[in-house]
Amino acid sequence: MNSVLRIALTYFYMLPLQRWLNIAGLLLLSCGALMAFLGLPVNGARAVFTLCTFGVTLILLVPSFGGGLAMRLASRPSIVHLRPHGRFKVLLGSTLAMTLVALIAVIPAATTQWFIATSGHGPGSRYPQALETLAFFWPVAAVGWILIFAASRTLLLALAFPLIPMGALQLPVLLQRFPAFRPHNLVAIGASAWLIFGFWYLLGKGAKPAAAPNGAFANPGSGPVQYQWLVGARNEESGENTPARAMACYLLGTSSIRVFVFTGLWLTAIFLGMALLIPSSKPQGGLLLFMLPFLGVNSAIMGFSAARRARLLWLRNGLHRNELFRLTERIALRGPMTTWGIVGGAITVFMLVTQPGSAQTVLTFVAAQCLFAVCLFYTGMALVRNWDASDVALSLGILLLMIIQMIYAHPLGGIPPLQPLITLLVAAVLLLPVRWYAKWRWAGLDWRLIRPPQLDWRRR
């Protein structure tokens, strides 16, 4: 039983970053709970709900989105075959972890309802009930877990990633539109899916290894052979051998822009497809704009990865840290901004066609998000201290800004005209200091502290 409990808890601290996420999450949760306990009328139930929701989101970010992948990684033969009842324990531990995810997700609803009941502030009907929330989250967690487990075997994991926030936002709308998805039906669907998955897991041949455990840091084209033509990996063998090409290969894993164009087109197809197929968001396409801040995370990951991969150029191209910084930003920013440009451009055109009246607001919003994505790139480049307190403070600061501007963007209710302008100004003011800070940190960049992501990959 101890080992099952240990496996379950591991999902909540498997990454070093989770320690900080958990601390920040617990802090926010405590604030929310304290407000509820003291019955403080500041902003009423809304404040309690918002604080608890952000706290819970931070704690559940990794286990809910990474649980399926982590379960596949934990199903290596060395873990499940060499230990008595290994598979059974991993399955039980994962079930427990998933249930914990659902129970923690209930906290905001439960705390808010308790606050309303004891203090009498705010209408209880505006906020979800605890049991309803549990009945919603448990099956969603179960099905999501299974889908990510399945997708982690192939390149689909990377391709399916944008579907997760989009799906999470659309799910309540879908459930409202289709009455068959009532809470008790949902629980039945989730439980059945998990049972079938559990039987397969226990009785099948065993889980195969994950295709790309290093996710976003993998070299483009290092996935299964059959997909490589998509990202132009086969073209890398032709062409001139120049330092420019070599530097791009070392920093990005490819000298071709094709993989970034492909990602942009893929994301555009998903976003526009969902906006057209599910015409429930009001105003139409408002949800699309809401996806742009998420897209900025891609830039942060690229900056983070480039800082590590720049080690590969240190002895090769003869540049000092500062010159290497400038070279890295020049080469590495190109990739995520190509992706961003394609998606942002398509969304802008869609919005201008469907809502010509709000053209100015839309254009300002898109420009602000574009600048914000560049800020996030430099934030990624500045995270070079192996998640010490300064790295964590910077990440949390940027995360907070992102959350604030997302609350202000309020996509489902339309964007107030002044707010994108404020975001644009904030991003513009932020850009130079963040870049300066990243450059300053690079002066003492220590590649013994941060190493390039595992470049190794072998065909399976």
Residues of the shown chain interacting with another protein in the complex, contacts defined by CB under 8 A: 219-222, 228, 233, 236-237, 241-243, 245-246, 249-250, 253-254, 311-312, 314-321, 444, 446-449, 451-452, 455-459
CB of 127 to another protein, least distance (A): 45
CB neighbours (10 Å) of residue 344?
22
Residue 275 near residue 284, CB atoms below 8 Å: yes
The answer for residues whose C-beta is within 8 angstroms of residue 196's C-beta and 6 or more apart is none
Minimum Å distance from CB 226 to another protein?
Answer: 14
Q: What share of the chain is helix, strand, coil (3-state, %, to 5)?
A: 75, 0, 25
Q: How far is the CB of 237 from another protein (least distance, A)?
A: 5
Question: In the complex, what is the shortest distance from the CB of residue 224 to another protein, in angstroms, rounded to a whole number?
Answer: 12
What is the per-residue DSSP string for 301-347?
A: HHHHHHHHHTHHHHTTS---HHHHHHHHHHHHTHHHHHHHHHHHHHH
Burial (CB count within 10 angstroms: exposed 0-12, middle 13-18, buried 19+), residue 456: exposed
* Lookup result for tokens 């600061």: 397
Q: Which amino acid is at 99?
A: T
Distance CA 279, CA 12 (A): 36
* Residue 46 vs 153, nearer CB to another protein: 153
Cβ nearer to another protein, comparing 55 with 223? 223
Provide, rounded to whole angstroms, the least separation between the CB of residue 384 and another protein: 12
232, 258 contact by CB (below 8 A):
yes
Q: Which amino acid is present at 277?
A: L
Least distance in angstroms from the C-beta of 261 to another protein? 18
What's the rounded Cα separation, in Å, for the pair 285 and 350?
8
- 110 Cβ contact partners less than 8 Å away, ≥ 6 residues apart: 130, 133
Closer to another protein by CB, 111 or 256: give it. 256
What is the smallest separation between the CB atom of 236 and another protein, expressed in angstroms?
6
Closer CB to another protein, 65 or 227, in the complex: 227
Nearer to another protein, 192 or 454 (CB): 454
Residue 259: CB minimum distance to another protein, A: 11
- Burial class, 273, CB count within 10 angstroms (exposed 0-12 / middle 13-18 / buried 19+): exposed
- For residue 45, give both structure tokens: 């139930």
What is the rounded CA–CA span in Å between residue 109 and residue 107? 6
At 274, which helix (H) or strand (E)? helix 258-277
Comparing C-alpha atoms, which of 312, 275, 303, 278 is closest to residue 382? 303
Of 275 and 383, which has the nearer Cβ to another protein? 383
User: Is the CB of 170 or the CB of 254 nearer to another protein?
Assistant: 254
> Minimal distance in Å, beta carbon 246 to another protein?
4
* C-beta of 246 vs 421, nearer to another protein: 246
Check if the beta carbon of residue 72 is closer than 8 Å to that of residue 212. no
Query: Given the complex with another protein, which of 345 and 453 has the nearer CB atom?
Result: 453
| Shortest Cβ 240–another protein spacing (Å) | 9
